[in-house]
A and B are shown apart, each in its own frame.
Chain A
Amino acid sequence: MSVGREYVLLLAPKVLSTRRRGAAGRGRWGRAVMVLGVGAAAWPFIYVTLTRLLRVLREVEEVGPLLASKLLALGLLVFLGILLLSNLIAALSSFFLSKDLPWIRAAPVDWLSVYLSRLTETLVSSSWMVLLMLVPMLAAYATVYRGGWEFVALSVAAVVPFLVIPAAVGSAITLLLVRLFPARRSRDILGIIAVAAVGLVVLLLRVLRPERLVNPESYRNLVDFMAALRGPSSPWLPSQWGADVLAGFLQGGLDPFLLILLWTTAAGTVTVGAVLHHTLYASCFTKAQEGNENRIRRHAGWVWLERAVSRISLQRQQLVLKDVRIFFRDTTQWSQLIILGVLVVVYVYNMRVLPLASGEMITRYLITLVVFLNLALSGFVLAAIAARFVFPALSLEGQTLWLLRSAPLDAGTLIGAKYWVGAVPLTALAILLTGVTNHLLGVPAALAILSLVSTVALSLAFTAQALAWGVYYPEFESENAAQIPTSIGGLLFMLGAVINLGIVLAVQVFILRGFLASGLPGREPRDPWLWEVGLALAATLLCCTAAAVFPYQAAVRRLEELEA
Chain B
Amino acid sequence: MIVLENLTKRYGAFTAVSGLDLEIGESQIFGLLGPNGAGKTTTLRMIAGILRPDAGRVIVAGHDNVLDPMEARRSLGFVPDRPFVYDKLTGAELLRFSAGLFGLRGPAVENRIDELLELWDLVPWKDQLVESYSHGMRQKLIISSALIHRPRVLVVDEPMVGLDPRSAWLLKDVLRTFADGGGTVLVSTHTLELAESLCDRLAVIDRGKVVASGSIDDLRRAARSEAAGLEEIFLKITRGATDSTIARVVGQ
| Chain A residues packing against B (C-beta within 8 Å) | 291, 294-297, 314-315, 317-318, 321-322, 325-326, 329-330, 398-410, 561, 563-564
Contacts and interface: CB of A to CB of B under 8 A. Distances in A.
B194 to A, nearest CB: 22
B127 A400 contact: no
A409 B90 CA distance: 22
B207 interface: no
Q: Which 10 A-B pairs have the closest CB atoms?
A: A318-B100, A407-B101, A399-B84, A329-B88, A406-B78, A294-B129, A408-B70, A406-B48, A408-B73, A405-B50
A406 B49 contact: yes
Contacts of A294: 128-129, 131-132
A314 B93 contact: no
B85 A295 contact: no
Contacts of A291: 131-132
B128 A406 contact: no
Given A294-B129, A563-B51, A407 B88 contact: no
B105 interface: yes
B169 interface: no
Nearest to B133: A294
Find the residue from B51, B86, B98, B102 having the highest chain A CB count within 10 A.
B86
Interface string B78-108: 1010101110111001001110111101000
A141 B90 CA distance: 54
Contacts, number: 86
B76 interface: yes
A408 to B, nearest CB: 4
B98 A403 contact: yes
Contacts of A315: 100-101, 103
B41 to A, nearest CB: 11
A561 B51 CA distance: 9
Q: Is the interface of A mostly helix, strand, loop or mixed?
A: helix
Contacts of B176: none
B145 interface: yes
B193 interface: no
B145 A403 contact: yes
A224 to B, nearest CB: 54
A317 B100 contact: yes
B52 interface: yes
Contacts of A403: 85, 98, 101, 145
A154 to B, nearest CB: 48
Given A402-B78, A406-B76, A407-B101, A563 B48 contact: no
B101 A409 contact: yes
Contacts of A400: 84-86
15 contacts: A294-B131, A295-B127, A296-B90, A296-B129, A314-B100, A329-B88, A330-B88, A400-B86, A402-B48, A403-B98, A404-B101, A406-B48, A406-B73, A408-B70, A563-B50
Given A294-B129, A325-B88, A563-B51, A318 B97 contact: yes
A213 B70 CA distance: 66
B49 A405 contact: yes
A406 B48 CA distance: 5
B172 interface: no
A246 B78 CA distance: 65
Contacts of B132: 291, 294
B49 to A, nearest CB: 6
Nearest to A328: B88
B45 interface: yes
Interface in B36-60: 45, 48-52
B89 A326 contact: yes
Interface in B102-145: 102-103, 105, 127-129, 131-132, 145
A325 B89 contact: yes
B140 to A, nearest CB: 15
Contacts of B84: 398-400, 402
Contacts of A398: 84
B150 interface: no
Contacts of B70: 408, 410
B226 interface: no
Contacts of B128: 294-296
B101 A408 contact: yes
Contacts of B131: 291, 294
A499 B74 CA distance: 43
Nearest to A326: B88
Interface string B18-44: 000000000000000000000000000
Nearest to A331: B88
A402 B50 contact: yes
A328 to B, nearest CB: 8
A403 B143 CA distance: 12
Nearest to B75: A408
B145 to A, nearest CB: 7
B71 interface: yes
Contact of B102 (A295, A329, A401, A408): A408
Contacts of A295: 127-128
Given A294-B131, A295-B128, A402 B102 contact: no
Nearest to B84: A399
A297 B86 CA distance: 17
Contacts of B129: 294, 296, 329
A321 B74 CA distance: 22
B50 A318 contact: no
B138 to A, nearest CB: 11
Contacts of B45: 402
Nearest to A318: B100
Contacts of A408: 69-71, 73-74, 101-103
A561 B49 CA distance: 11
Contacts of A321: 97
Contacts of B96: 318
A561 B69 CA distance: 13
B82 to A, nearest CB: 7
A314 B73 contact: no
Contacts of A561: 52
Given A296-B129, A329-B129, A401-B50, 15 more contacts: A294-B131, A314-B100, A318-B100, A318-B101, A329-B88, A402-B78, A403-B101, A406-B73, A407-B101, A407-B102, A408-B73, A410-B70, A561-B52, A563-B50, A563-B52
Contacts of B50: 401-402, 405-406, 563-564
Contacts of B103: 314-315, 408
Nearest to B106: A314
Nearest to B85: A400
B75 to A, nearest CB: 9
A329 B84 CA distance: 17
Interface in B160-183: none
B250 to A, nearest CB: 24
A227 to B, nearest CB: 54
B82 A399 contact: yes
B127 to A, nearest CB: 5
Nearest to B103: A314
A326 B127 CA distance: 14
Contacts of A317: 100
Nearest to A401: B50
B146 to A, nearest CB: 9
